[in-house]
């Protein structure tokens, strides 16, 4: 609004109301001319957005820079992945690199206890099984293993060996790593139909994983942290003693998963000795993965796996993985129920279950790192036994 | 729900969008009140009734006080409000303390009173919202403000979620006028809100939590396993941690409130730049210290009586301040310690002021440095009381801090990142204090500000500890 003042040319009419008392003399007069308001033309969306951006420059620039930073982080994703691999995704990608003759799948007992190199070359029905891979997913469940096989074996292998144990079938377990790293939208739909009782859980975690993966910064945050730790350690040796141990192990694992056969045992399990720990008075009294044991829901995915093998012409073998006697003693009813389920599946479906007892394999407490995980010596013994067993079966 | 949790990052944008989409005042405030009660109930749904009850009582008491015909009725309703707030606070916070001490006393005299086998879970933010309620009814009683007519307005004033769990303690006179019409959020508020929120997150996740995890936690848990130099560094790091933790929460609260168009009072003014203990309490947890000044110290007589009466008032106020934080003897001693320091400082100040030589010395920079060092040492020594796991452990830490042990500056037990983090905090303090003194606010060009915030976010996402620790002041 523009206002201008100008000296009066003529006296105003006396009818103009006065706000001062009647006897107050008029010392001077001004005329205020108010220019008409300019007609507001409709403002376009672009102009309005520009105005908003101009007003909120800091916030808009912050959002813009954040997107740029996120894209920049994405460009270096191989660096971050090398420093902190997504274990499940890396194993699935490793398995899918080439068509496989023999694939082992299962949880941490498989990832720690089976070295495919010790088994590769075994003869099955007159043909050697050269390309082998261990798809061992620590902390996984049968539902996760089904998805791992589905995406890790685009070409169905000749033989699929599932090293199963009681905790794989425990319906009280819900592990978010599966929805995060293994599942697609189609897998989500199948899960919701097949296991409606956990539909809310899987949808929530799947959605969270997709939101998390939308940002490179969030997705690779641990890799960036490990990279920063390694860089800091190079500049200031001894500055991050604990973090650098983790970073070293993760880099080692990343290299093993990138080029190897899936056998990348954790450092702690590899050298651990359960018998020594027991002698020192350390004796675990429980395995959290077997808490509140109940079966039925994950089992549906075992049937899906059997269907998948039948459809692809893959021979499926289930191995009841050997665990320590102490674990079976702590959870007798859980192992009874688990083995009952295996027997039911064996009766109802055309699969073979191999009962790998400690005695038949030759394992003692000295070959375990803890209640359930074999150490490196245990893995050597078990892998050799596996090779012999497959050789016998394949004749 | 707490700030810096995953749920909060879904909650906050949802509430902001809803609030700004709505046009009518009642709807806006209704949504904000519902969100605030949800925020409260997220952590302790069984205690939602506590805040609702306090709100109803104080709202009704405020109206009754204003409408009462006689002074006696006014006093009666004020008494109802104060008794209700303090009664609930006492019941939840101090019952176990009183019971435990009664048991100890009874056992001393051979009486058959058994140890406690029960625990009382503290409702979130009870120490804050009860004090807020009391200040409201007292202000209405003193005719400093008018009673609020709308229950919605009053309930929102008490429950406004950014400051609900850990303050600042907002006065009605500061907040209610802002509520007359829903405040329009300015571009400046949006930018400053972002600034405060990110600064708060950095203080909490990158500084406080890292210091705790790296060093402060292990040293205070087992001081005997560390050497005196490590103790000294841990005391300094603990002082930095508690400041970053609490002021970080306050900053996030201030930032959040700005996004709704509200202004909350500053709670910290760079307290570790203080050059005396009274200066420190004018900079630390301002909303509590001014509350205690206005509603306890002044009614007790303040400094209007004799010197002895003034010192007694100071000590009473600071013991209350200690016990407000926690119902333990350690907090009692912390309050007593600060009350004594305040009294001693007052004696010292009175004795020297007016003596030309003393005034000349006290106005020099060298003296300011000595005063600053002495104040920081006294504050850090006091803070040991509230972190020590036992009196023995506290004794070891204090012994080392105050230099009764061999005075060594460094040991291999101190992670190299601890001094780095402390330097960052000290630099932030110095720069902030300087800007405060010269009266300059956020005058950095927008692109630089924005870039700095992005760097902060990158650091927050990548370097903050995986497991979020709760804010220390939520326990109060």
**B19 domain-assigned:** yes
* B134 in the same domain as B63: yes
Name which of B6, B184, B187, B205 to mutate to probe chain A: the one with the most chain A Cβ atoms within 10 A of its Cβ.
Answer: B187
Q: The CATH number of the domain where A145 resides is what?
A: 3.40.50.1110
* B153 in the same domain as B59: yes
d(CA A143, CA A145): 6
**B299 domain-assigned:** no
* Residue A4 pLDDT: 47
Choose the final residue of a domain: B154, B182, B210: B182
* B31 in the same domain as B87: yes
Cα A57 to Cα A42, A48, A62: the distances in Å are 23, 14, 8
- Residues in A touching B190 (Cβ below 8 Å): 56, 59
**A353 pairs with which residues across the strands?**
A318
DSSP 8-state assignment for residue A324: -
What is chain B's pLDDT, residue by residue, as a tens digit (476 residues)?
666 677 788 888 999 999 988 888 888 899 999 999 998 888 778 888 988 999 999 999 999 998 888 888 999 999 999 999 999 888 888 888 888 888 888 888 877 777 777 787 778 888 888 999 999 999 999 888 888 888 999 999 989 988 877 778 888 888 888 888 777 888 888 988 999 999 999 998 889 988 998 889 999 998 988 888 889 999 999 999 999 988 998 899 999 999 999 999 888 989 999 999 999 999 998 888 998 998 988 888 888 888 888 999 999 999 989 888 888 898 899 999 999 999 999 998 888 888 888 888 888 989 899 999 999 999 999 999 998 888 888 888 888 888 766 667 677 778 888 888 999 999 988 888 887 777 665 567 889 989 999 999 999 888 876 544 555 555 55
Residues of B with a catalytic annotation lie at: 325
**A27 domain-assigned:** no
Residue ranges of chain A with pLDDT lower than 50? 1-6, 11-17
Question: Minimal Cα distance from B415: which residue of A?
Answer: A239
* Residue A53 pLDDT: 84
* Residue A21 pLDDT: 56
CA distance B189 to chain A (A): 10
Closest CA to B190 of B181, B180, B198, B182: B198
* Residue B333 pLDDT: 93
**A37 domain-assigned:** no
* Residue B178 pLDDT: 85
* B217 in the same domain as B100: no
Asked if B177 is an interface residue toward chain A (Cβ–Cβ < 8 A), one would say: no
- Residues in A touching B463 (Cβ below 8 Å): 225, 228
Asked if B7 is an interface residue toward chain A (Cβ–Cβ < 8 A), one would say: no
CA distance A202 to chain B (A): 17
Residue given tokens 């300011």 in the structure block = B368
Which string of DSSP letters, residue by residue, matches B114-146?
PPP----PPPTTHHHHHHHHHHHHHHHHTTSSP
* Residue B187 pLDDT: 86
d(CA B345, CA B352): 11
- Reduced DSSP (H G I as helix, E B as strand, rest coil) percent helix, strand, coil of chain B, to 5: 75, 0, 25
**B112 domain-assigned:** yes
* A70 in the same domain as A165: no
**A362 domain-assigned:** yes
Choose the final residue of a domain: B162, B182, B202: B182
* B405 in the same domain as B364: yes
CA angle A389, A263, B467 (to 5 degrees): 130
- Residues in B touching A240 (Cβ below 8 Å): 417
Within 10 A of B190 (CB to CB), how many other CB atoms are there? 17
**A240 domain-assigned:** no
**B282 domain-assigned:** no
Closest CA to B381 of B263, B232, B249: B232
* B46 in the same domain as B168: yes
* A276 in the same domain as A157: yes
* A163 in the same domain as A50: no
Choose the final residue of a domain: B182, B215, B241: B182
* A167 in the same domain as A55: no
d(CA B285, CA B236): 19
* A162 in the same domain as A142: yes
**A2 domain-assigned:** no
Token duo for residue A208:
């969270």
Long-range contacts of A98-101 (CB under 8 A, 24+ apart): A98/A131, A99/A131, A99/A155, A99/A157, A100/A131, A100/A132, A100/A133, A100/A153, A100/A155, A100/A157, A101/A127, A101/A128, A101/A129, A101/A130, A101/A131, A101/A132, A101/A157, A101/A158, A101/A159
d(CA B62, CA B155): 13
CA distance B212 to chain A (A): 16
Considering only CB atoms, which residues of chain A are within 8 Å of chain B? 55-59, 61-62, 64-66, 69, 73, 217-218, 221, 224-225, 228, 236, 238-240
Asked if B451 is an interface residue toward chain A (Cβ–Cβ < 8 A), one would say: yes
* A149 in the same domain as A52: no
Strand order in the sheet with A159-164: A132-136, A102-106, A159-164, A315-320, A352-355
Are B169 and B288 spatial neighbours (Cβ–Cβ below 8 Å)? yes
**A280 domain-assigned:** yes
* B248 in the same domain as B132: no
Within 10 A of A136 (CB to CB), how many other CB atoms are there? 27
**A207 domain-assigned:** no
* A109 in the same domain as A51: no
Closest CA to B277 of B383, B356, B358, B354: B383
Q: What is the pLDDT of residues B259-288, one digit of tens each?
A: 999 999 888 989 999 999 999 999 998 888
* B446 in the same domain as B383: yes
* A303 in the same domain as A359: yes
* B71 in the same domain as B170: yes
Greatest CA separation for chain B: 72
Of B417, B446, B462, the CB nearest to A239: B417
- Residues in A touching B446 (Cβ below 8 Å): 57-58, 61
What's the structural domain count of chain B? 2
Domain holding B139, by residue range, is 6-182
Q: Say if the Cβ atoms of A239 and B416 lie within 8 Å.
A: yes
Token duo for residue A379:
């893995």
Are B261 and B185 spatial neighbours (Cβ–Cβ below 8 Å)? yes
* A147 in the same domain as A50: no
* B96 in the same domain as B212: no
What's the structural domain count of chain A? 2
* Residue B4 pLDDT: 65
Residue given tokens 């006492």 in the structure block = B90
Closest CA to B211 of B426, B417, B469: B417
* Residue A20 pLDDT: 52
CA distance B445 to chain A (A): 8
Length of chain B: 476
**B283 domain-assigned:** no
Q: Where are the beta strands (DSSP E) in A139-218?
A: 159-164
Are A171 and A328 spatial neighbours (Cβ–Cβ below 8 Å)? no
* A55 in the same domain as A125: no
Q: Say if the Cβ atoms of B457 and A58 lie within 8 Å.
A: no
Question: Minimal Cα distance from A229: which residue of B?
Answer: B463
Question: Minimal Cα distance from B198: which residue of A?
Answer: A62
* Residue B405 pLDDT: 66
DSSP 8-state assignment for residue A182: T
- Residues in A touching B468 (Cβ below 8 Å): none
* A70 in the same domain as A93: no
Asked if B452 is an interface residue toward chain A (Cβ–Cβ < 8 A), one would say: no
* B400 in the same domain as B264: yes
d(CA B21, CA A356): 64
- Residues in B touching A57 (Cβ below 8 Å): 446, 450
* A139 in the same domain as A51: no
Domain holding A101, by residue range, is 87-175+261-394
Of B191, B451, B463, the CB nearest to A65: B451
Predicted ipTM beyond 0.95? no
Are A260 and A141 spatial neighbours (Cβ–Cβ below 8 Å)? no
Of A57, A228, A240, the CB nearest to B462: A228
CA distance B184 to chain A (A): 14
CA distance B56 to chain A (A): 38
* B159 in the same domain as B34: yes
Are A263 and A117 spatial neighbours (Cβ–Cβ below 8 Å)? yes
Asked if B449 is an interface residue toward chain A (Cβ–Cβ < 8 A), one would say: yes
Q: Say if the Cβ atoms of A224 and B462 lie within 8 Å.
A: yes
Asked if B450 is an interface residue toward chain A (Cβ–Cβ < 8 A), one would say: yes
Asked if B413 is an interface residue toward chain A (Cβ–Cβ < 8 A), one would say: no
């Amino acid at each position: 609004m523009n206002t201008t003042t100008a000296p009066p040319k003529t006296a105003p009419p006396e009818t103009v109301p006065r706000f001062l008392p009647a006897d107050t003399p008029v010392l001077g007069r001004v005329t205020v001319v108010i220019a008409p308001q300019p007609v507001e033309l409709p403002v376009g969306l672009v102009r309005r957005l520009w105005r908003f951006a101009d007003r909120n420059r800091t916030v808009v620039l912050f959002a813009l820079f954040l997107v740029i930073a996120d894209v920049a982080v994405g460009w270096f994703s191989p660096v971050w992945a090398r420093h902190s691999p997504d274990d499940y995704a890396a194993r699935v990608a490793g398995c899918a690199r080439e068509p496989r003759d023999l694939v082992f799948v299962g949880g941490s007992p498989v990832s720690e206890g089976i070295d495919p190199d010790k088994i590769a070359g075994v003869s099955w029905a007159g043909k050697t099984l050269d390309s082998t891979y261990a798809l061992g997913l620590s902390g996984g469940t049968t539902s996760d293993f089904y998805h791992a096989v589905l995406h890790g074996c685009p070409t169905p292998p000749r033989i699929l060996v599932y090293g199963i144990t009681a905790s794989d079938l425990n319906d009280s377990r819900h592990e978010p790593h599966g929805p995060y790293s293994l599942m697609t939208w189609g897998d989500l739909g199948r899960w919701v139909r097949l296991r409606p009782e956990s539909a809310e859980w899987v949808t929530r975690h799947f959605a969270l994983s997709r939101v998390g993966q939308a940002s490179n910064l969030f997705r690779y945050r641990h890799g960036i942290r490990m990279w920063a730790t390694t860089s800091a350690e190079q500049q200031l040796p001894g500055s991050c003693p604990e973090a650098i141990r983790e970073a070293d192990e993760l880099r080692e694992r990343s290299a093993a998963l990138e080029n190897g056969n899936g056998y990348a045992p954790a450092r702690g399990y590899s050298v651990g000795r359960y018998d020594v720990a027991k002698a020192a008075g350390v004796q675990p009294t429980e395995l959290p993965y077997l808490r509140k044991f109940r079966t039925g829901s994950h089992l549906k995915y075992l049937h899906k796996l059997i269907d998948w093998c039948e459809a692809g012409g893959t021979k499926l073998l289930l191995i009841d993985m050997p665990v320590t006697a102490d674990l079976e003693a702590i959870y007798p009813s859980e192992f009874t129920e688990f083995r009952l389920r295996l027997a039911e599946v064996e009766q109802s479906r055309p699969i073979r279950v191999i009962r790998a007892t400690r005695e038949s394999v030759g394992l003692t407490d000295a070959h375990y790192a803890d209640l359930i995980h074999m150490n490196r010596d245990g893995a050597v013994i078990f892998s050799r036994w596996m090779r012999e067993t497959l050789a016998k079966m394949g004749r | 729900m707490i700030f810096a949790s995953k749920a909060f990052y879904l909650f906050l944008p949802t509430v902001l969008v809803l609030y700004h989409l709505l046009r009518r005042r009642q709807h806006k405030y209704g949504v904000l009140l519902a969100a605030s009660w949800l925020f409260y109930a997220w952590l302790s749904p069984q205690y939602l009734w506590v805040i609702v009850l306090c709100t109803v009582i104080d709202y009704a008491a405020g109206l009754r006080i204003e409408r009462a015909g006689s002074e006696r009725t006014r006093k009666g309703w004020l008494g109802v409000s104060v008794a209700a707030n303090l009664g609930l606070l006492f019941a939840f916070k101090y019952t176990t303390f009183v019971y435990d001490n009664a048991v100890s006393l009874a056992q001393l005299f051979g009486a058959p009173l058994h140890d406690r086998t029960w625990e009382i879970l503290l409702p979130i933010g009870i120490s804050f919202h009860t004090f807020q309620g009391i200040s409201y009814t007292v202000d209405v009683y003193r005719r400093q403000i008018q009673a609020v007519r709308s229950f919605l307005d009053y309930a929102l004033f008490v429950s406004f979620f950014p400051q609900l769990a850990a303050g600042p303690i907002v006065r009605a006179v500061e907040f209610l006028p802002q509520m007359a019409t829903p405040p329009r959020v300015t571009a400046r508020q949006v930018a400053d809100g972002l600034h405060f929120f990110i600064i708060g997150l950095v203080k909490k996740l990158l500084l406080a939590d890292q210091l705790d995890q790296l060093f402060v936690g292990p040293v205070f848990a087992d001081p005997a396993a560390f050497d005196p130099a490590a103790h000294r560094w841990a005391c300094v790091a603990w002082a930095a941690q508690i400041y970053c933790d609490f002021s970080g929460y306050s900053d996030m609260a201030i930032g959040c409130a700005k996004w709704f168009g509200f202004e909350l009072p500053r709670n910290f003014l760079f307290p570790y730049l203080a050059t005396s203990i009274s200066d420190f309490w004018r900079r630390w947890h301002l909303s509590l210290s001014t509350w205690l000044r206005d509603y306890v110290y002044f009614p007790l007589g303040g400094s209007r009586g004799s010197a002895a009466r003034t010192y007694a008032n100071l000590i009473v106020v600071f013991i209350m301040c200690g016990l407000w934080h926690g119902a333990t003897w350690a907090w009692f001693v912390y309050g007593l310690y600060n009350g004594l320091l305040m009294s001693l400082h007052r004696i010292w100040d009175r004795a020297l002021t007016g003596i030309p030589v003393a005034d000349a010395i006290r106005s020099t920079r060298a003296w300011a440095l000595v005063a600053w060092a002495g104040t920081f040492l006294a504050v850090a020594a006091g803070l040991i009381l509230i972190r020590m796991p036992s009196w023995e452990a506290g004794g070891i830490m204090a012994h080392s801090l105050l230099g009764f042990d061999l005075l060594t500056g460094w040991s291999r037990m101190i992670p190299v990142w601890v001094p780095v983090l402390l330097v960052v905090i000290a630099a932030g303090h110095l720069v902030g204090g300087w800007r405060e003194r010269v009266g300059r606010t956020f005058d950095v060009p927008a692109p630089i500000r924005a870039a700095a915030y992005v760097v902060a976010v990158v650091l927050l996402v990548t370097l903050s500890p995986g497991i979020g620790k709760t804010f220390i002041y939520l326990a109060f």
